[in-house]
């Protein structure tokens, strides 16, 4: 007797842009597809900076994964944290112990922050990759103005109204511009003891120009636009340290209570924030 044919199973870990596009490309094909993600929504990451600056709510940039993939009957969506990959057994192992067998595996877990060998900076300079990050940054920025309003110390007021963004890529440029607009327009008339328009926004970029992956003309236009908003753009400037008191840019210390990290990324591992690890049978 011949064995009955079995539908090949493709497992996709990650429901970001890459994972979703892969799943959609496999929709309505003679394959069984399972998409696994630790969150049940797809996040439009390019607009996170607007959540971080109170221009949008999180719901505006998040869409349920199940709704996006609902037209494709051959695709299942699974909520779960990946604990490891059993390469020998061809299974994805979830934290709850469930094993998801696969014939083909796609790892599409995106990127996370890179602090260039200084993970201790993360507690002082949050990055912007998730809704939780955006909420934290929004709270820090708005709280800084609230604390500046009630402090009687001019030096502390100056520190609170100084915001440093590290990294001149798209996220850093967008954040710097959005925070400058927030202080000069949205918050301008809301306070009595401070003038938010006097906030100091500093964008630090280690390379010779902003947006290094874009055409030089766009880089220059971005720099001029930010400076027109009052942003201090510092090029060829390296951050050498940061802590609760501020940022060291080369030999200079800039005192600030709010630092946003947008300087580097690294691949996001599929297994709970560590390198992908095989289970015992996959060693």
| Residues in Cβ contact with 277 at an 8 Å cutoff, skipping those fewer than 6 apart | 84, 85, 271
Q: Is the backbone of residue 110 left (phi > 0), alpha (psi -120 to 50) or beta?
A: left
CA separation for the pair 252, 53 (Å, rounded)? 27
174 catalytic per annotation:
yes
DSSP string covering 26-46, please?
HTTSSSEEEEEESSSEEE-GG
Q: Is residue 182 within 8 Å of residue 145, measured between CB atoms?
A: no
The beta strands (E) that lie in the chain are given as 9-13, 32-37, 41-43, 62-64, 75-79, 82-86, 91-94, 99-101, 104-107, 111-113, 162-166, 200-204, 232-234, 239-243, 246-249, 252-255, 258-261, 265-267
What does the longest C-alpha to C-alpha distance in the chain come to?
87
State CA 46 to chain mean position distance.
Answer: 9
Among 156, 174, 216, 227, the active-site one is: 174
CA distance 235 to 204: 6
- Residue that is written with structure tokens 């090949």 in the block: 8
Identify the three-state secondary structure at position 57: coil
Beta bridge partners of 41: 64
Under 8 Å between Cβ of 211 and 222? yes
List, by residue number, the catalytic residues. 174
């Amino acid at each position: 007797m011949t064995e009955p044919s079995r539908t090949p199973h493709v497992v996709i870990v990650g429901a970001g842009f890459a994972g979703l596009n892969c799943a959609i490309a496999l929709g309505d094909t003679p394959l069984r597809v399972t998409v696994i993600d630790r969150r049940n929504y797809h996040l439009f990451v390019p607009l996170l900076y607007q959540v971080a600056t109170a221009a949008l709510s999180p719901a505006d940039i998040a869409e349920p994964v199940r709704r996006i993939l609902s037209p494709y009957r051959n695709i299942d969506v699974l909520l779960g944290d990946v604990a490891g990959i059993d390469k020998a057994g061809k299974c994805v192992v979830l934290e709850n112990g469930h094993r998801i067998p696969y014939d083909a595996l796609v790892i599409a877990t995106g990127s996370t922050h890179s602090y260039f060998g200084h993970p201790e900076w993360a507690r002082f300079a949050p990055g912007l990759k998730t809704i939780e990050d955006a909420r934290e940054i929004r709270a820090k920025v708005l709280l800084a103005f609230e604390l500046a309003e009630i402090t009687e110390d001019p030096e502390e007021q100056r520190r609170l109204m100084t915001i440093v963004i590290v990294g001149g890529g798209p996220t850093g440029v967008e954040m710097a511009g959005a925070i400058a607009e927030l202080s000069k327009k949205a918050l301008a008339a809301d306070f009595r003891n401070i003038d938010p328009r006097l906030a100091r926004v500093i964008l630090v970029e280690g390379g010779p120009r902003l947006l290094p992956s874009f055409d030089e003309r766009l880089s220059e236009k971005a720099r001029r636009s930010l400076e027109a908003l009052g942003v201090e753009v510092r090029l060829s400037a390296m951050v050498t340290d940061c802590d609760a008191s501020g940022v060291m840019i080369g030999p200079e210390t800039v005192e600030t209570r709010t630092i946003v990290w947008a300087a580097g990324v690294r691949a996001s591992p599929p297994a709970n924030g560590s390198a992908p690890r095989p289970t015992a049978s996959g060693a």
